[in-house]
Structure 1
Amino acid sequence: KQRVLIVDLDPQANATSSLGVDKRTVQTSTYDALLNGEVPASSILFNERLKLSLLPSSPALAGAEVELVDEDGREFRLKTALESLDKKYDYILIDCAPSLGILTVNGLIAARDGVLVPVQCEYLALEGLGQLTQTIERVQSALFPNLKVRGVVLTMYDPRTNLSTDVVNEVNNHFPGQVFKSIVPRSIRLAEAPSYGLPISAYSPSSVGAKAYESLAKELLKGDGISTK
């Protein structure tokens, strides 16, 4: 059993609410970690049912970009804050916002073991993929040369459409050898799960979406040399 910490670095707090936590009730969050350069012990919430920990987001995080703009080492705040947790967790997963500001740069630099890039099988996602690639390259050249793409995760795949197939082919051409074989399909169950404050593995464990994410997790663990039998 792996010890997992989810870090919600998105002001919209989707990861937080998807794990059943109301961001309006959060007292300390990733905002405090960024501003203080350390993670307050009281800010980490442990979900007994799911057996995982969460460093939640909060409404205050929306103002962090402005507050950090004149701070020294602002791009390394999250990395510094999470270093003290290295030995407590096997995996620290950082959920970044779908934007490319200072918060996401903090997430990229803190991701020492690599970045997982989710790509929806839709045309507009390809445009965003190009922008993300440029950001990763800039971070590599200017701030953190060890940053690497661990893998690309294809999501919202619909086998009935030519577009989904085209996106799969395009992404594989763009990231040869870096695309996970496990593809997450478009699914009503996946869309419903966040509204119940549960991950798909708890909300509908026998659904195709849950099976796809289970396959992805096993693929990731196998890449780290961890047996999933």
Structure 2
Amino acid sequence: MGRIIAIANQKGGVGKTTTAINLSACLAEAGKKVLTIDLDPQGNTTSGLGIDKDELENTVYELMLDECSIKESMKKTDIENLTIIPANVNLAGAEIELLDVKEKEYVLKNSVDYIQDDFDFIIIDCPPSLNMLTINSMTTANTILVPIQCEYYALEGLSQLMHTIHLVQERLNPNLEMEGVVFTMYDARTNLSTQVVENVKNNLDTTIYQTIIPRNIRLAEAPSHGLPITLYDSKSAGAESYRDLAREVINRKDV
């Protein structure tokens, strides 16, 4: 049965989509069958994996409104072993359209249950807000991976995210666990990055991945070319870091 990991942080600009794209690609590169679900109306994971988000017949939006099957919503990427359920701006309307849907918190889960066994990993990129889409990702997922940017306000909003995770555990998905925290945009030249890492380690009672994703220009450039870092610059520090993270995720035995 595939492991389902939701990548969540309601704070924008923390490397959430970059992590979704490149962790997915590195897991696929390691020979794992991967499905990436883009649950962000911006659709940046979709375009970052080379899919034209404006030329799509079926997306996660149609899937959640029961206008297509999960198989019909899937699209092959150019990366071996990697399939995506894409998103575009239409998804922004899903919140309102799901209001009257029975068990609206489980719409995504009910679809994913059909195909979970077909994949080793299912990676969900959540929107940068705590809304019904994020709740759907948390009822579907086994674990939550939280990217944290190495900057002064890193812990801001994290307590709110943790509170939401606890509420989902209590009321909707008792099996949900923390996958852990991964530090992103680390700049070894600054004392601040080191202080943030230490601060989070001291204040957060959860798994913290050893891999730290550096601030890397090639990582920032790759999405505009519709490529994960493994194809854009395979030997860059960013590519090696995400390969290390993928190895850690694969080797995590206690999930």
TM-score range (shorter-chain normalised) is: over 0.9
Partner Cα distance (1:50, 1:157) in 2? 29
Partner Cα distance (2:145, 2:67) in 1? 24
Partner Cα distance (2:128, 2:87) in 1? 15
- After TM superposition, what 4+ stretches of structure 1 lie above 4 angstroms from structure 2? none
Aligned sequence identity (%): 46
Match of 1:7 in 2: 37
Partner Cα distance (2:37, 2:117) in 1? 16
Q: What is the TM-score normalised by the length of structure 2? A: 0.84
Tell me the amino acid that sits aligned with residue 70 of structure 1. D
Partner Cα distance (1:12, 1:50) in 2? 24
- Greater RCO (Cα-Cα under 8 Å, separation 6 or more): 2
Partner Cα distance (1:125, 1:39) in 2? 39
Find the partner of 1:153 among 175, 182, 190.
Answer: 182
Partner Cα distance (1:41, 1:187) in 2? 36
Partner Cα distance (2:220, 2:108) in 1? 30
**Gapped runs of 5+ residues in structure 1?**
none
Shifted more, 172-181 versus 129-138: the winner is 172-181
| 1:45 aligns to 2:75 (yes or no) | yes
Partner Cα distance (1:6, 1:198) in 2? 14
Q: Tell me, what secondary structure is at the counterpart of 1:146?
A: coil
CA distance change for structure 1 residues 155 and 69 in 2, over 3 Å: closer, same or farther?
same
Q: Tell me, what secondary structure is at the counterpart of 1:66?
A: helix
Match of 1:202 in 2: 231
Q: CA deviation at 1:151?
A: 1.2
Q: Tell me, what secondary structure is at the counterpart of 1:36?
A: coil
Match of 1:61 in 2: 91
Query: What do residues 86-129 of structure 1 show as CA deviations (whole Å, max 9, x unaligned)?
Result: 121111000001110000010111102x1111111112331122
Q: What is the TM-score normalised by the length of structure 1? A: 0.93
CA distance change for structure 1 residues 38 and 220 in 2, over 3 Å: closer, same or farther?
farther
Partner Cα distance (2:44, 2:218) in 1? 16
